[in-house]
Amino acid sequence: MARTPDLKNILTAGGATWLDLPVLHPADPFLETAGEEIRRRMFVTEGPTGARLALRPDFTIPAGLYHIASGSGPARYAYEGIVFRRHEAGDLSERREAGYEDIGDPETAAADARTLQLALAALAALGETGLVIRIGDISLFAALTAALGLPEPWQRRLRRSYGNDAAMAESLARLAANDEATNGPADPEIEALARDHDHDGLVACLAGRLAKAGFLTGTGRTAVDIAARYLDRQALAEFRASDSEISVLNAFLDLESGLEETPGKLRELASANDLDLGPAIDAFAARAQALKAAAGSVPIRFDGAFGRPLDYYTGLVFEIARNTDGTILAGGGRYDRLLDMLGAPELVPAVGLSLRLDRIGIKSAGSRP
Amino acid sequence: MTLTIAIPSKGRMQADSAAVFERAGLAIETSGDARTYRGRLVGDAIAGHTIEIAYLSASEIAREIAAGSVHFGITGEDLVRETIVDIENSVKLVKPLGFGKADVVVAVPDPWVDVRTMADLDDVAAGFRARHGRRLRIATKYWNLTQSNFASHGIALYRIVESLGATEGAPAAGLADAIVDITSTGATLTANHLRILDDGVILHSEAQLVLARCADWPNPVRSAASALMQALGITDQQF
C-alpha cells in the first residue's frame, strides 16, 4: 500500500512492477552479502523449524532475490514499506521507505540517470524543494589505483577502504610506510622456497603441512591459495608507494566540485601526474552528462571520497539532501555484483534508490539532528 | 533490600572467589546444606550489615549484573564484555582479582603462512567469496567481541559460526576457517594446529569484581557496600 497514490504512480511510471515483499526473510542472504556487520543492526528471530529469520533490514536484497526467482530478463521494481534496523539508543528501529530497483539494463549510464530522475520526481511529488545531489564513483577510484600501477593486492585494499574515511586513512598510511614486515618467527623452509620462486615446491610443502595437521581438504583455503597469497605478500612487502603516488590518491579523495567541472579537474589531475585515465574519465563524463540532464536545475556535487564500503557497490552512488539543513532524503547506487552474490548465474548490472519517507515532508523534526 | 553478590557456583572460580573474601577477613556462611545456592558474608569489617552471596554460573552472573538483580558479581571480564552491550552505563569493573587469567584471541590454521596479522586476515576475507563461493567463517562463542574487534580492523566480509564448545576443533572439522576463542596457555590451540595472529589478542581477561550500576542502591545497601569495599581495600567508591 503506497502512502500516496502519486508515489506509486511515479515509481511505476517507467514500467516497474510494484512489489509487496514479506517482512520476514531468511537471515542468511543479508549476512552473506552485507557481511557480519549487519547482524548487529538486524532483528533476527527463529522460525518454527529453527531457520534463522530476519525482519527485513532493507528492500534491495529481497527485491534482488525476487528478481532471480522470477527468472526474468531486465526488469524494474518499486515498493514501499517498513524496514527494521537496530540503532543507537534514541533512534527509531523501524522506518518507512520506498524504493526502486532497475535490474539488468546494460546501458548503465542511462539506467543511472533514469534512477536519479525518478528519485527527484518522487521527492518533488512529496513536496520537497531546495535539494542538492552528492555523487561519488568507486569505478573512477579503481581506475586511478590501476593507472598508478599499484600492486593488485594494494588496489583491492584501497577499493575496500573506499567510503570509510577511517579505514582509508589507515590504508594510505600503511601504503606509505610499508610496515608489511615479515616479522613473525622465521620459517626457513617456506622462505627458501619463496626466495627461489619455487611455486610448485611451496604448494607441495603447504599441502603436506595441511595434511599433517589434519585439515580437511576441499572445505576452505588450499595450499595453492596460501602459496599464491604468500608470494603476493612478498611482493607487497617489497612495495612502497612514493610520496607523489600518495598525494595523487589524496588529491582525488579530496576532490569536491560541481559535476560540470569534474571531468576537467580529473583530466588535470591525470595529466599533471602523467596517468592514463582517459577511458575512465570519458565514461564518467558521458555519465555526468546523462545525470545532469536528469537532475535539471538541481545542483550535483562530486565528492571524490564518497562511496559505500560494501563490495557489491561498483559504480555511481548518490545522495539527495535538503540544501537548508543537509538532511538526507534519498540515496542510491549501482550494485552490479549483488545479484551474482545472491545466486544469479551471471553478473547482472543493477542500480536502485531508496526514499526516506520517515524524513520526507517533515521539516526540522525536533528529535533528529 | 539486601546487598547481594553473585559468585561462581563451582570449580576453581568458586574457590578463588571465596579466597578473595577470606584474605579480607570475611567468610561465607552457608546454611549447612552443601547444595544450597545462597550464603551470607560475615566478618568484623562488615558487622551490622547484611550481605548475601548468590551462587550462579559464570555466564549467568554477567546477565544478572546487567539486569541489576544483584549488586556485585565476580566473573570473567570476557563474559562481561561479551554479554553486556552497554557496558559503560550499566556496570563498573571495580577490581581485577588476579585469577581466571586468559586471553580472547583470533587464531588461524598454522599452515596459513601468509596470515600473520589482522590486516592479512582482512585480505583473505575480502577475496574469499570470489575464490570459495562463500564468506570466510569464524567459529566463536564471542559474537560481540568478535564483531567489534573485526570492525575496528575494518573487516566486514566474514560470517560468524556459533560454537558453544570445542571451538578449537572447528577449522580441522571444516566447520570454520578460523576461530575467536579464550585461551590461558595457548596449548590447546597449538595442539589443534592453530596460531594466534601477531595482533590477534582481543582481550586480556581475568576475573573481576563487577558493580551493577542499574541495581537498586538504597542507603542500607550503599553503606553495606562501602564497608565491603573498604574491607577489600578498594578506595574508589563510586556507585
Is residue A121 within 8 angstroms of chain B, CB to CB? no
Is residue B110 within 8 angstroms of chain A, CB to CB? yes
Could you tell me the CA-to-CA distances from B111 to B45, B105, B172, B188, B190 in Å, in that order? Answer: 56, 18, 12, 16, 12
Q: In this structure, are residues A330 and A355 in contact, taking their beta carbons and an 8 Å threshold?
A: yes
Is residue A368 scored above 50 in pLDDT?
no
Q: What is the pTM of this model?
A: 0.83
pLDDT in the model for residue A363: 58
Chain B from 15 to 74: CB within 8 A of any A CB: none
Using CB atoms, pick whichever of B123, B151, B177 lies closest to residue A220.
B177
Q: pLDDT higher for A89 or B71?
A: B71
pLDDT in the model for residue B131: 87
Is residue A366 scored above 50 in pLDDT?
no
In degrees and rounded to multiples of 5, residue A164 shows phi and psi of: -125, 100
B107, three cell numbers = 587464531
HSE-CB for B66 with a 13 A CA cutoff = 16
State pLDDT tens for residues A134-164: 999 999 999 999 999 998 888 988 998 899 8
Mean pLDDT of chain A: 90
In degrees and rounded to multiples of 5, residue B108 shows phi and psi of: -125, 165
State pLDDT tens for residues A244-294: 999 999 999 999 999 999 999 999 999 999 999 989 999 999 999 999 999
List the single residue in A with minimal CA-CA distance to B108. Answer: A221
Percent of chain A with pLDDT over 90: 67
> Above 0.90 for ipTM, yes or no?
no
How far is residue B239's CA from residue B228's CA, in Å, rounded to a whole number? 13
* B174·A184 Cβ contact <8 A: no
Q: For residue A2, what pLDDT band results from cuts at 50, 70 and 90?
A: very low
Of the candidate ranges A153-157, A185-189, B185-189, the one whose mean pLDDT is the lowest: A185-189
Say how many CB pairs under 8 Å bridge A and B: 100
Total residues belonging to chain B? 239
In the sheet that holds A350-356, the strands lie side by side as A17-18, A75-84, A94-103, A350-356, A328-334, A316-322, A131-137, A300-303, A256-258
Chain A from 294 to 333: CB within 8 A of any B CB: 309-311
* A183·B111 Cβ contact <8 A: no
